[in-house]
A = this chain, B = another copy of it.
Amino acid sequence: MPAYATNMRIKFPILALTLELITIILFAIFVTYDDGSSHGHHAPSNETAANNLRLYPVFQDVHVMIFIGFGFLMTFLKRYSFSSVGVNMLLAAFGLQWGILMQGFWHMEDGKIKMSVLRMINADFSTATVLISFGAVLGKTSPVQLLIMTVLEITIFSANEHLVAEELGASDVGASMTIHAYGAYFGLAVARVLYRPGLRNGHENDGSNYHSDVFAMIGTVFLWMFWPSFNSAIALSPEEQFTAVVNTYLSLAACVMTAYAISSLVEHKGKLDMVHIQNATLAGGVAVGTCADMNIGPFGAMLIGSVAGIISTLGFKFLTPILTSSLGIQDTCGVHNLHGMPGILGGLAGIAATALGKKKDGQAPMQAAALASSLGFALVGGTITGFIMKLPWWGQPADQNCFDDSVYWEVPDDEEENEESLAHGDKNKAEA
């Protein structure tokens, strides 16, 4: 079974070291510090530096969302926490370097990419697309495949982002379209290509346990709290930044209420479901992204958040099972419900808001084109990337090894002997 050769000893180190070496060489050629001028001594002046540092606290909030937020959100799987937080860290750490290059190539000054805090924020943003797609294929792909996906997804993201922001001149301050919808549909396309019939009837490890659900809430809550920073970080003026903070804060608060209400409404005996609480409470941040800096009014933001909480929870309950059974899309984390539909909702809200004149110089047709472009790049790019990831050479876990850290990680013995063995009988399986 060459496709299931899960031994990474040669492939993974070679790929990782090669990618890092190429990256360092490209940095040596192209990247310098932001010195505030188009030519000069390549060291930052105090004024430029102070200007850069103004955004530093917001950058750190975004950084926490990327590394703690996404990383811990995915620890909900009972035997896949090492991979969730660990591979998340790997992809994000490489992705931000790659993102600086890919985004930077569209914005060179004197043939150089100038490192600034804004560029660091955008680099973190570019990794978010990968981490969203990672959620769709979580548990079913190898680190080698995922590094390949990181290279391709960020490259394509940078092209689409340039098209949307610079060519179309569309507004997407919180990136509902260019990050959330793009990342989700890219990941769903990859998941479709990597469809595993053997997992049609589920997998015993494709679920949470009590403590893994609590770990996941660390991710949820940090994402929820710092989302106003995400949606406002690249706003052009203090006025727009402040508006984006207020709108996102209120959208998320309203979203929590509707997500909890609908979770209780659709669940057995009115109980709350952790999957909904961990994910759908965040849909308000996604959906208000595009029009976060627009003058939609506090209650407008709350309306968007309320609707996002409702459709996201309903999606987890009713749509995800259909996608799996009818379309062959196995979406491990339900990114379609957290990033996909709320991202489209955000794009539509942006079209409506610009049409209603809520954004200075905003143009509804350009917003619509940006949404279409993001979805197109995602579906085509994701499909091609999926086929590249499917090449047998990279290796991927066999169906029975999915959702299990022990394929790619040294897992402590006592855990297997003890806590998990009753349910899984791994030790026997391993010895058999």
A residues within 8 Å of B by Cβ?
A: 7-13, 16-17, 19-20, 23-25, 27-28, 31-34, 42-50, 52-53, 56-58, 60-61, 63-64, 67-68, 71-72, 75, 78, 81-82, 85-86, 89-90, 93-94, 96-97, 115, 117, 120, 143, 207-211, 213-215, 217-218, 221-222, 224-226, 229, 237-239, 241-243, 245-246, 249-250, 252-254, 256-258, 260-262, 264-265, 267-274, 277, 281, 295, 297-299, 302-303, 306, 408-412, 414-415, 417-420, 422-423
**4 closest A-B pairs by CB:** A9-B270, A49-B242, A93-B256, A8-B270
A86 shortest CB reach to chain B, Å: 5
Docked-complex contact A254 and B213, CB < 8 angstroms: no
Q: How far is the CB of A55 from chain B (nearest CB, A)?
A: 11
A269–B253 Cα gap in the complex (Å)? 47
CA distance A423 to B252 in the complex (A): 39
With both chains docked as a complex, state the minimum distance between the C-beta of A123 and any C-beta of chain B, in angstroms. Answer: 9
Decide: A207 near B414, CB < 8 A? Known: A75-B214, A221-B67.
yes
Closest-by-CB residue of B relative to A242 is B49
Q: Are B412 and A245 in contact (CB under 8 A)?
A: no
A27 touches B226 (CB 8 A): no
- Please measure, in the bound complex, the distance between the C-alpha atom of A243 and the C-alpha atom of B116, giving whole angstroms: 10
Minimum distance in angstroms from A105 CB to a CB of chain B: 15
Q: Are B20 and A254 in contact (CB under 8 A)?
A: yes
Query: Which residues of B have CB within 8 Å of A23?
Result: 254, 302
Partner of A237, one of B46, B143, B222: B46
Do B217 and A85 touch across chains, with their CB atoms under 8 A apart?
A: yes
Give complex CA distance A85, B272 in Å.
13
Q: Is the CB of B412 within 8 A of A239?
A: no
Distance in angstroms from A311 CB to nearest chain B CB is: 14
Inter-chain contacts of A67 with B (CB < 8 A): 221, 224-225
CB contacts (< 8 Å) of A243 on chain B: these are 33, 43-44, 49
A307 to chain B, nearest CB (A): 11
Closest to A277 in B: B86
Contact A226 B60 (CB under 8 A): yes
* Chain B residue nearest in CB terms to A91: B256
Contacts of A265 in B (CB 8 A): 9, 13
A224, B89: Cβ atoms under 8 Å? yes
Q: Which of B57, B97, B225, B271 contacts A253 (CB 8 A)?
A: B97
Question: What is the CA–CA distance of A346 and B122 in the complex, to the nearest angstrom?
Answer: 29
Docked-complex contact B264 and A298, CB < 8 angstroms: no
Q: A208: which B residues are within 8 A, CB to CB?
A: 412
Q: Can you list 25 A-B contacts (CB < 8 A)?
A: A8-B271, A12-B260, A13-B265, A13-B270, A17-B261, A23-B302, A31-B299, A43-B243, A49-B242, A49-B243, A60-B226, A63-B225, A67-B224, A67-B225, A72-B218, A86-B272, A90-B256, A96-B253, A115-B298, A207-B414, A209-B415, A210-B411, A213-B412, A272-B409, A418-B420
Which residue on chain B has the smallest CB distance to residue A120? B249
Question: Smallest distance from the beta carbon of A13 to chain B beta carbons, Å?
Answer: 4
Taking a contact as CB atoms under 8 Å apart, the answer to whether A214 and B120 are in contact is no
Q: Known: A8-B271, A86-B277. Is A218-B218 also a contact (CB below 8 A)?
A: yes
Query: Which of B68, B224, B238, B297 meets A49, CB within 8 Å?
Result: B238
Whether the Cβ atoms of B60 and A239 lie closer than 8 Å is no
Chain B residues contacting A31 (CB-CB under 8 Å) are 298-299
A270 in contact with B238 given A89-B281, A417-B422 (CB within 8 Å): no
Partner of A78, one of B44, B249, B412: B412
12 additional contacts (CB under 8 A) given A13-B261, A46-B237, A89-B224:
A9-B270, A49-B239, A60-B226, A86-B217, A89-B277, A90-B257, A97-B254, A208-B412, A210-B411, A210-B415, A214-B215, A271-B410
